[in-house]
Amino acid sequence: MEGFEKAMRSKEPSVNLSSSSSSQLLTRPPRRAVSLLTCSKLCGVCFVAGIVVGFTLKRRFRRWAARLLKRIKDD
């Protein structure tokens, strides 16, 4: 861990970049942010998918538990 901390504190970059690639990184336009509408749609889809998966797993678990209890009761 000590070596990692030294590397993080050092002022020299660990990777040498050519001047063309470093200037290309500096002149790159900033990325656009995700719109609120897109974020809301994604959250809604994930929420609905989570509900569907949750109910499916709940039903499967109940069936599995019922079979297990029936097997234990028969013994």
**What mean pLDDT is reported for the chain?**
78
Kindly state the tokens that stand for 75: 């013994």
- Rounded to two decimals, what is the model's pTM? 0.46
pLDDT at 5: 59
DSSP string, 11-65: SS-SS---HHHHHHHHSSPPPPPPPHHHHHHHHHHHHHHHHHHHHHHHHHHHHHH
For the chain, domain boundaries: 2-26+34-74
Residue 56 Cα to chain centre, angstroms: 22
Q: Give pLDDT, residue 67.
A: 93
Task: Give the largest Cα separation in the chain, rounded.
Answer: 77
The more confidently predicted of residues 2 and 62 is: 62
pLDDT tens digit sequence for 16-52: 555 555 555 566 666 778 889 999 999 999 999 999 9
